[in-house]
């Protein structure tokens, strides 16, 4: 019986000539493999969408026998570092003997009063995950991801929302030789491939957990039987001066993923933003709709907390599964230099923790990844898909 092998490599090229940068980055990634490429992912940051498209076409032609997907972005990750708001291309290549790779492109059609997503291949019993790159301006990513279990079951989705330096209309997506100006692209990963997900939301809880006792759409009216704004004021008044500054710079709220847990601590919540307050109704507006009875807890996020959370999750992955051999990294465009003072932070964390492995990705306008067994779209998150060449006896992914 032949021994199945996996190998992973990445490349990065910075320069205003995006076609040359694409050639360089993909060539670097391919040169690090010991066998033929089966999957290639690339990411392009550039000013001109037509040049981005030409660079993407060149990148796809360099690996004719592989499944190839990519997207535009406002920053890219490769070669152990990040490059933000600067013309650059990063690439990632993998040899995955025994894997089944099914590339797809998604579009939306209007049916009566709703949109229907078309183009998703039929999932197989031994599919392990799907990578997804979506145009946030044309594709209903939130609705598709939140309801993905209806068509994908418990299959993890991981990836990010593409973007462009000039915003709406300039996003470009790439899949198997084609350029798309809207929708979403991705690949289903099945067969003999070892993959797991790490999703770092980077928040720290403050105050007590509380039940939602009054709600209207995305407005929290009551928490634990009292006006939501009054409960928030109680939490803030109990904080020290430094923590109050964190609240002022970006308060979050966590929705407990397991309602039946005896305690809800760090990492037990799906994080959503606090959008504002309604003083007249003593309500708090949040970036989600929750039902009465759900458990929530206010949260804060800063560089130190985000750093600690990412390293803790990666350390736990290494201790349980022995690290990894390659990884795709989708990091929020609000992280990087804006949060840590360096665009390299998340890429460095992955390599410091999991080893000198092939890592590439992009700075996303929203990150896709599973938390608590369900797929979600996140903000300020680092979503990592870790590949391993080590065999295991389970289905080889985390929920």
12-60 residue pLDDT tens: 999 999 999 999 999 999 999 999 999 999 999 999 999 999 999 999 9
What is the signed CA dihedral for 334, 338, 339, 345, rounded to 10 degrees? 90
Give Cβ neighbours of residue 241 (< 8 Å, ≥ 6 apart): none
What does the alpha-carbon distance between residue 33 and residue 336 come to, in Å, rounded to a whole number? 28
Instruction: Summarize pLDDT for 207-261 with one digit per residue, the tens.
Output: 999 999 999 999 999 999 999 999 999 999 999 998 898 898 889 999 998 765 5
- Whether residue 284 contacts residue 219, with contact meaning beta carbons closer than 8 Å, is answered with yes
* Cβ neighbours around 279 below 10 Å, total: 8
Is residue 277 scored above 80 in pLDDT? Answer: yes
- Whether residue 314 contacts residue 322, with contact meaning beta carbons closer than 8 Å, is answered with no
Instruction: Summarize pLDDT for 61-112 with one digit per residue, the tens.
Output: 999 999 999 999 999 999 999 999 999 999 999 999 999 999 999 999 877 7
What is residue 268's predicted lDDT score, i.e. its pLDDT?
Answer: 74
* Mean pLDDT of all residues belonging to the chain: 92
Coil/strand/helix, residue 224: coil
Give Cβ neighbours of residue 338 (< 8 Å, ≥ 6 apart): none
Closest CA to 368 of 338, 341, 328: 328
Q: How confident is the model at residue 148 (pLDDT cuts 50, 70, 90)?
A: very high
What is residue 261's predicted lDDT score, i.e. its pLDDT?
Answer: 59
Give Cβ neighbours of residue 387 (< 8 Å, ≥ 6 apart): 6, 8, 94, 96, 193, 194, 195, 324, 325, 326, 327
* Cβ neighbours around 109 below 10 Å, total: 10
Higher pLDDT, 264 or 227: 227
- Mean pLDDT along residues 314-336: 94
Instruction: Summarize pLDDT for 338-396 with one digit per residue, the tens.
Output: 999 999 999 999 999 999 999 999 999 999 999 988 999 999 999 999 998 755 444 33
- Mean pLDDT along residues 306-313: 95
- Mean pLDDT along residues 285-313: 93
What is residue 372's predicted lDDT score, i.e. its pLDDT?
Answer: 85
Coil/strand/helix, residue 9: strand
Q: Record the tokens describing residue 97, joined without a space.
A: 């003997």
- Mean pLDDT along residues 123-152: 94
Q: List Cα–Cα distances, 154 to 40, 148, 201, 213, 372, in angstroms.
A: 25, 8, 20, 30, 11
Coil/strand/helix, residue 367: strand
Q: How confident is the model at residue 115 (pLDDT cuts 50, 70, 90)?
A: confident
What is residue 265's predicted lDDT score, i.e. its pLDDT?
Answer: 53
């Amino acid at each position: 019986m032949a021994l199945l092998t996996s190998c992973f490599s990445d490349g990065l090229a910075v320069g205003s000539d995006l076609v040359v940068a694409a050639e360089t980055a993909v060539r670097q990634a391919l040169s690090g493999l010991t066998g033929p490429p089966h999957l290639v992912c690339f990411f392009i940051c550039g000013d001109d969408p037509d040049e981005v498209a030409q660079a993407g076409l060149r990148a796809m032609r360099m690996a004719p026998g592989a499944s190839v997907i990519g997207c535009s972005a406002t920053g890219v990750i490769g070669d152990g570092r990040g490059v933000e708001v600067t013309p650059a291309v990063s690439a990632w290549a993998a040899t995955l003997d025994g894997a089944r790779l099914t590339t797809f492109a998604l579009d939306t059609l209007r049916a009566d009063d709703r949109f229907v997503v078309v183009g998703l291949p039929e999932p197989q019993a031994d599919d392990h995950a799907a990578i997804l790159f979506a145009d946030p301006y044309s594709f209903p990513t939130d609705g598709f991801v939140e309801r993905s279990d209806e068509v994908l079951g418990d299959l993890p989705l991981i990836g990010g929302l593409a973007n462009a330096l000039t915003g709406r209309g300039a996003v470009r997506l790439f899949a198997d030789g084609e350029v798309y100006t809207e929708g979403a692209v991705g690949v289903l990963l099945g067969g003999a491939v070892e993959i797991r997900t790490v999703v770092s939301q980077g928040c720290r809880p403050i105050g007590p957990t509380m039940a939602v006792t009054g709600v209207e759409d995305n407005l929290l009216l009551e928490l634990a039987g009292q006006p939501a704004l009054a409960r928030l004021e109680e939490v803030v008044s109990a904080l020290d001066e430094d923590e109050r500054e964190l609240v002022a710079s970006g308060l979050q709220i966590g929705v407990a993923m397991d309602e039946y847990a005896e305690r809800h601590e760090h990492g037990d919540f799906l994080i959503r933003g606090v959008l504002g307050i309604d003083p007249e109704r003593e309500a708090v507006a949040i970036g989600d709709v929750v039902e009465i009875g759900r458990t929530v807890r206010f949260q804060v996020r800063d560089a130190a907390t985000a750093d600690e959370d990412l390293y803790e999750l990666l350390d736990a992955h290494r201790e349980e599964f022995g690290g990894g051999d390659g990884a795709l990294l989708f990091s929020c465009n609000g992280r990087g230099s804006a949060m840590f003072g360096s665009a390299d932070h998340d890429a460095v964390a992955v390599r410091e923790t999991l080893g000198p492995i092939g890592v590439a990705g992009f700075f996303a306008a929203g990150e896709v990844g599973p938390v608590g067994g369900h797929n979600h779209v996140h903000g300020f998150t680092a979503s990592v898909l870790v590949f391993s060449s080590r065999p295991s006896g389970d289905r080889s992914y985390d929920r």
